[in-house]
Amino acid sequence: MNEQSATNKAAWEYRAYEFWIKRDGHPKEKAKEIRKNPRACLKKHQAFLENVENKRIANLCGSNGRKAVPLALLGAEVTVFDLSKENERYSKELAYYANTSINYMVGDVYDINLQTYGETFDILYLEGGVLHYFYNLDKLLSLLFSLLKKGGTMILSDYHPLLKCLNEDFSAKHAYFDTEIHTGDIAYKHFFPEEEQVGFPDVSLRFYTLSEILNAVITARFTIDRFEEHRGWKKENIPWEFTLIARK
């Protein structure tokens, strides 16, 4: 495991289960919510995941199972790859209470065994903002290409690169063409009381430009079918996220 991944693993195994309880509720209650309408839990990606029954899906950096469990309920065979045992704990409990099952592999995505998982999956699903946790985008996309069956689809949804450059008032924050690896707060740190935030480990982040992302996808030999930009939750007039659909 490389240094950046080890740093991020330590961060995401610090009180993450406690955070998911705070934000999403106990897995038993969250499972009831998901079972009512699993498709709705896929939100803006529903159209790209319409026919998943009997499909093998890899949910890379699948976190607490909030997408993996709905997909399993819709009939997919889902494997989550994630660094955090805390995330695994919440995910497995969520699947249990939802009366379904998922596979969960804890470890560095870079270390996925291609002898076991190469050309295994019909769909790769990455969402929620994960690219900044990887120091080498070309290496990541090459690995993802190897995981897909021929004709398989990758759904990659992430924070728009412009978002890292702006504060909430749209003033300048970071340089767009920044190639450094940065330390930063774990995403859920500010959900805890201020006096408890001192002990939280930092994460290690590498921010990419849009051209770096697109070129890494192209270099890995994916064929891009669609690219969409999304506004923020408050309908801000700048792109906050994007979704890229590509196939092998």
Cα 37 to Cα 42, 65, 192, distances in angstroms: 10, 15, 30
The pairing of strands 223-230 and 241-247 is antiparallel
Residue 123: Cβ within 10 Å count: 22
Give 186-244 as a DSSP string.
-TTGGGS-GGGGGGPPPEEEE---HHHHHHHHHHTT-EEEEEEEE--TT--SS--EEEE
Residue 63: what pLDDT?
A: 94
Q: Provide φ and ψ at 185, rounded to 5°.
A: -75, 145
Residue 230 pairs in a beta bridge with 241
Residue 178: what pLDDT?
A: 87
The pairing of strands 181-184 and 203-206 is antiparallel
Residue 170: what pLDDT?
A: 59
Measured between its terminal Cα atoms, the distance across the chain in Å is: 27
Quote the CA–CA distance of 110 and 194 in Å, as a whole number.
Answer: 34
Q: Along the chain (248 residues), what's the average pLDDT of each consecutive run of 10 residues?
A: 91 96 96 97 95 97 97 98 97 98 96 96 96 96 98 97 74 80 93 92 95 98 96 80 97
Q: Which helix (H) or strand (E) holds 72?
A: helix 68-73
Which of these, 147, 148, 64, 145, lies nearest to 112 by C-alpha position? Answer: 147
Each as own residue / partner, the long-range contacts of residues 43-48 (CB below 8 Å, 24 or more positions apart, any chain) are: 44/157, 44/230, 44/243, 45/125, 45/127, 45/155, 45/157, 45/243, 48/153, 48/155, 48/243, 48/245
Quote the CA–CA distance of 216 and 214 in Å, as a whole number.
Answer: 5
Q: What angle do CA 121, 122, 126 make, to 5 degrees?
A: 75
Query: Is the Cα torsion angle 165, 64, 73, 41 positive or negative in sign?
Result: negative
Residue 28: what pLDDT?
A: 97
Residue 70: what pLDDT?
A: 98
